[in-house]
Structure 1
Amino acid sequence: MKSIRYIIRAAIIAGLYTVLTYFLKPISYGPVQVRVSEALTLLPLIESSAVPGLFVGCFLANLLGGLGPWDVYGGSLITLLAAYITSKMPNPFLGALPPIVLNALGVSYYLSLLYGMPYAITAAYIGLGEFIAVGLLGIPLVFFIKRTGLIRYFDKTD
């Protein structure tokens, strides 16, 4: 059974993801997006509670986004899978690959259908947005957190 600290950390991460996504709504949803909250998808490298936290945060953000069940369930499950795979990666550079690739390939599939856009173009837009959020924001965020000790509990077994 997970400790209360683990659940609280997961809830904080979920809340951060949801709030960042929703308050940056103009750039967080649709076939062309830079979901800044995706920078948090590298947290599973240093905090195990980030895996369920990101899933719940994405679920809530997508529920608020208004794109329907495809985004609520599909996007959230893609985030869960990406977070889990990221948690197994040895460093932030390799850890950035699962969220970038899975979102570019998976989220683009249903967004291309919802918006009537060609899949390849949608995948390129989503992939670029993920690269900006995860690669250019998330990787420096992980190094900053590690350097400053912002997250004090690095025990991935808690």
Structure 2
Amino acid sequence: MNRNVTYLVKAGVIGALYVVLVAVFSFSSFGPIQFRIAEALTILPYFTSAAIPGLFVGCLIANIIGGAVIGDIIFGSLATLLAAYLSYKLRKFEYLVPVPPVIINTIVVGILLKVAYGFPEGLLALMSGVFLGQMVSAFGIGLILIKALKPFSKFIQD
């Protein structure tokens, strides 16, 4: 199969999975305390660069469908894009791959919850809620996902 087609299919599947996971678990995907199970997919740049646009577009669509404010749609999605790119750059260090999504989303989403949504909690409290959710999703579930996908890596790696 053509490399470009394969790349687009991988990116599309990753984006679609992200959207579906956010939609199915919408009760915990939005709000001052966020636990997005879809964030476990942020480890996928470990396997393929197609995860970078896939996660970005998936987050963008999920935020639109989920009723996010425009600032969150733009900056939350850009935060995911940056985190995915940095995770890809760290792919040689398996246990560091989840670090960019945790740090970037803690800061960006925390600020968005305060500024764009006007939640009354303090900024540090909002960031702490995002941090905890990211740690469980990206580190906890994400690292388990890396281990589970390794036997299939020849099918998903670049």
Q: TM-score range by the shorter chain?
A: over 0.9
Q: Write out aligned runs for 1:9-24 (5 A).
A: 9-24=10-25
- Residue number among 89, 109, 117 corresponding to 2:121 in the alignment: 117
* Match in the other structure for 1:93: 95
For residues 27-71 of structure 1, give each alpha carbon's deviation from its aligned partner in whole angstroms, at most 9, with x where no partner exists: 001110110000000100111100000000000000011121111
Q: Structure 1: how far apart are the matches of 2:63 and 2:45?
A: 20
Q: Structure 1: how far apart are the matches of 2:32 and 2:3?
A: 37
Structure 1 residue 140 and structure 2 residue 144: aligned?
yes
* 2:21 and 2:37 in contact (8 A); partners too: yes
* Aligned-pair Cα RMSD in Å: 1.4
* 1:54 and 1:80 in contact (8 A); partners too: yes
* Match in the other structure for 1:68: 69
Q: Structure 2: how far apart are the matches of 1:2 and 1:130?
A: 32
TM-score by length of 1: 0.93
Q: Structure 2: how far apart are the matches of 1:2 and 1:111?
A: 39
Q: Which runs of 5+ in 2 are unaligned?
A: none
> Which stretches of structure 1, 4 residues or more, deviate above 6 A after TM superposition?
none
Q: Structure 1: how far apart are the matches of 2:153 and 2:45?
A: 14
* Match in the other structure for 1:149: 152
**Counterpart amino acid of residue 48 in structure 1:** S
Q: Which runs of 5+ in 1 are unaligned?
A: none
